[in-house]
Each structure stands twice: as C-alpha cells, then as structure tokens.
C-alpha cells in the first residue's frame, strides 16, 4: 500500500468512516469517501496526517482548492483542529447555525445546509431518538421484571409467614383447651 493509501486508511479510521465536514457515512453515501487537503497542494499543502481530512465528494468539490490567500480572508473550519460545536450548532429543523465567522463561511462554502444534509441530520436524530427510546423501554421492562420477581418473593414470604402464624394459632388454641 502506498504512503497516501496508508494515510487515507488512517484518516478513514480516525473519521469513523464518515465525512469530517458534514458527517455523512460511507454506508449512507454508498462508497468510500475521499481525502481533502486542508491546505491544498497548490498552496503548499502536504500529504500529511494533519493536512488530510476524510470527506465526502460533495464537500470536497465545494471546498475545491480554497485556502485563504491573506490574513483577512475567511477560513474554512478545520475538523482536524477543532470540534464542530465550536463553530456551529444544529437547529431543531436540521439546519446548521453558525457561531463564528469560520462557521458561517464553512456552512456557505461547503453548502452544509443543502437539502440532502438537512434530511440526513433529521433522519439520524430520529433514529438516535428511536434508539434511545428503545433503550429506555428495555430498561423499564427489565425493572418491571425485577419488580415482578421481587413481588413473587414477597408473596412467597408472606405465604410462609401465614403458614407459621396459622400453626402458632393452632398451637395456642390447643394449649387453651
């Protein structure tokens, strides 16, 4: 395997097989993703772990060879350096809302609020909530089963106590005769 192939595989694993920009997985995209150079080769970027982002074809295409040419030019968020929640949050409707200038520029440049990504986020949130609900109900069922077992034990103990009390009453009645 070539050096770039090894770096690509390392990036895939690090990114958990999903685009580091938008989060779409290989499974959902139907194939392997690609590598983006944070600093494009045309701007002096290297094939190094720190400079490579595993990303979807659309995000890579929208970013293209963009790199700020001056200190005042807007920057694109680098997922290799900072978590996404530093620069944007997901709204209830699935859109990303910028928290910083970098977040705003990244959302615009990579078109992170495109219809397909909004639908993807909402689907993932729904699936996540459904999974959490299932976990909750499984825990409730386990608790009910435990309670049922405890209830049975208490009923058995009560039955034994009643039998002992019944024998004691019989003994007391015999002694009084």
pLDDT score recorded for residue 79: 94
pLDDT per position as a tens digit, 125-167: 988 778 888 888 888 889 889 889 889 898 888 999 989 888 9
Helix (H, G, I), strand (E, B) or coil at 35: strand
The structure's pTM equals 0.71
pLDDT per position as a tens digit, 52-72: 999 999 999 999 999 998 888
List the chain domain ranges: 3-113
C-alpha–C-alpha distance, residues 13 and 15, integer Å: 5
């Amino acid at each position: 395997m070539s050096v770039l192939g090894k770096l690509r595989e390392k990036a895939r694993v690090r990114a958990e097989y999903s685009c580091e920009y938008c989060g779409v997985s290989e499974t959902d995209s139907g194939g392997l993703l690609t590598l983006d150079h944070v600093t494009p080769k045309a701007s002096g970027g290297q094939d190094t772990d720190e400079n490579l982002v595993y990303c979807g074809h659309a995000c890579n295409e929208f970013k293209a060879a963009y790199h700020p040419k001056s200190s005042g030019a807007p920057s694109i968020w680098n997922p290799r350096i900072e978590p996404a929640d530093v620069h944007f949050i997901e709204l209830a409707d699935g859109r990303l809302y910028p928290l910083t200038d970098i977040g705003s520029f990244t959302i615009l440049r990579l078109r992170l609020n495109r219809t397909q990504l909004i639908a993807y986020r909402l689907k993932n949130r729904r699936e996540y909530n459904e999974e959490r609900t299932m976990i909750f109900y499984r825990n409730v069922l386990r608790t009910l089963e435990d309670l049922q077992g405890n209830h049975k034990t208490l009923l058995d103990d009560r039955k034994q106590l009643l039998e002992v009390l019944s024998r004691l009453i019989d003994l007391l009645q015999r002694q009084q005769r």
